[in-house]
Chains A and B, each alone.
Chain A
């Protein structure tokens, strides 16, 4: 291949790569901007269609309306609560277990590792899981959001690979000073583990904030334990059926009164999404590392 042909080929690749990346960026961001624009647009005007990334008739009315829905207020409280409690509980359990598994002299560590790893590949399934929760009397309780997922093998392995990378001399010198293993964990290891903990905290928090199926399955009938995602799911699902079933005009007209306007739906979507969008870019350098660690180990 001549030098000229090669550089022409390289140039072509360069152009293609940038066009491709621009396409990916637009494809990813546009839907969010569109939802954002509609959420700030007058709900009657929205029906005319044609809103792209800028609202036509700007209003805050949709957001004001949201706060009159009682279910959403409760949902917000429960979602925040489960995210905070679930994240802290998961961090403590995950890091404690990871610490014990990182100690090479710990006799039980191989068995515990295997015991945990198996759960990554085999699960009882939906129905046996449901029966268990029922038998433990966890239905219609807040605890069902926290307890079943408290120990996650993946998170344990992510933290463990991080601890494995720390110099063992730190633990040894603490031991010589007479510290027991719990003190070493609490005083020495935890403060050093911040990057790994940040990653796992993000996974846990996002998982808690985003889950809706446990609410649907276990607490669907209990309005005081509803979550934001579950409320959003109910509201959005009411459109899918009415919008697709367009032949059924009578049914639709009857439905319309119960169905909240498009703009309000989009406003709720924004409320549900914003907390995550604010947090994740700042934690990026942590989770990139954490993902890589977890993948290498498992």
Chain B
């Protein structure tokens, strides 16, 4: 078997005639893939080439070779900017809160939904729980703002009705509440959707395990803890690693749409910083330096997380 493949390989390498034949045989596969590969190259890889801007004093409309190179000047300016550390703090805080909540809440939701024995109810709750995932952040932010508003917002009405507070709270104007509001909005929007994968993993656990546990007299909570949870452990780990890789990629839509000038000290994240100080002021090179910082840290985190999990659990995503 082995010798056979070797001879085929050798023949392939030696004879251009055969190589041409193989190519001709697969020509349609090339026609159908190469255009899209070029496409990906242009729209996904060329921006990486654009990283060179961070080391130039970039001027738009000037050729690559006529740009003035400035080395690490923009990075020095970035790390010397006090504002940068505030933005970094906001990004890390909201990402970390989002990661922890986005990791725990869907697992808990999936575990509990799995305990709903009436199939109709289970399906109904699941269908409802997807709903917010499909609306845009524009709509979701509008809804969150409405629910938290001081005139007629349900949250303030409830808190006042229960006499927990005397005056309505101006949720959207309080900086120290902003991180919590963003995290809660994220939980509201994405929990049901994130739970899909866990529910699929739970469905894959063999029923004989539960039967054996029942024979042994395990309660349902014990079954959840000793069978269901370990059964979805690999899924949880893979998703956790992926979320660590996207730690700094918290996005900026939520912060852009929910934030306002009153809470900007807490709402501005790296991407918004790049948007406001890079694009807004035409400082393209400085903005690119911010983007590079973001991407590089994300990649490092992904590799570190993957390495740690590989060592402890022998499971890896790469």
Contacts of A295 in B (CB 8 A): 197, 235, 238-239
**What residue in chain A is nearest B251 (Cβ atoms)?**
A213
Closest residue on chain B to residue A124 by CB atoms: B47
Contact for A127 among B46, B127, B291, CB less than 8 A: B291
Q: How far is the CA of A131 from the CA of B124 in the complex (A)?
A: 46
Binds B, one of A16-24, A66-74, A250-258: A16-24
B318 to chain A, nearest CB (A): 9
Interface of chain B, helix or strand or loop or mixed? helix
Number of A-B contacts (CB under 8 A): 261
Interface band, chain A: 35 or more
When the two chains form their complex, are residues A107 and B26 in contact, meaning their CB atoms are under 8 A apart?
Answer: yes
Q: Nearest-CB distance from A132 to chain B (Å)?
A: 5
CA distance A46 to B153 in the complex (A): 12
**Interface contact A182-B294, CB-CB below 8 Å:** no
Residues A28 and B188 in contact, CB atoms below 8 Å apart: yes
Stretch from B77-85, B88-96, B142-150 contacting the other chain: B142-150
Contacts of B146 in A (CB 8 A): 31, 34-35, 266
Interface range, B side: 35 or more
Bound: A213/B224 CA distance, A: 42
Q: Does more than half of chain A's interface fall in helix, strand or loop, or is it mixed?
A: helix
Complex Cα–Cα for A232 and B138 (A): 7
Does B18 interact with chain A (Cβ within 8 Å)?
A: no
Query: Does B136 lie at the interface of the complex (its beta carbon under 8 Å from any beta carbon of A)?
Result: yes
User: Restricting to A276-292, which residues have a CB under 8 Å from any CB of B?
Assistant: 276-277, 280-281, 284, 288, 291-292
1/0 per residue A95-109: CB within 8 Å of B?
011011101011110
Q: What does the 1/0 interface line of B271-285 toward A look like (CB < 8 Å)?
A: 100110011000010
Are the CB atoms of A30 and B288 closer together than 8 Å? no
Pick 18 A–B contacts, CB within 8 A, sort by A: A13-B221, A29-B131, A30-B154, A34-B147, A35-B146, A46-B152, A49-B157, A121-B302, A124-B51, A132-B42, A134-B60, A182-B31, A211-B136, A243-B172, A276-B134, A277-B131, A280-B131, A281-B127
Q: A-side interface residues toward B, CB under 8 Å? A: 1, 3, 6, 9-10, 13-14, 17-18, 20-21, 24-25, 27-32, 34-35, 46-47, 49-52, 93, 96-97, 99-101, 103, 105-108, 112, 115-116, 119, 121-132, 134, 136, 147-151, 180-182, 185, 206, 209-213, 217, 229, 232-233, 236-237, 239-241, 243-246, 265-266, 269, 272-273, 276-277, 280-281, 284, 288, 291-292, 295
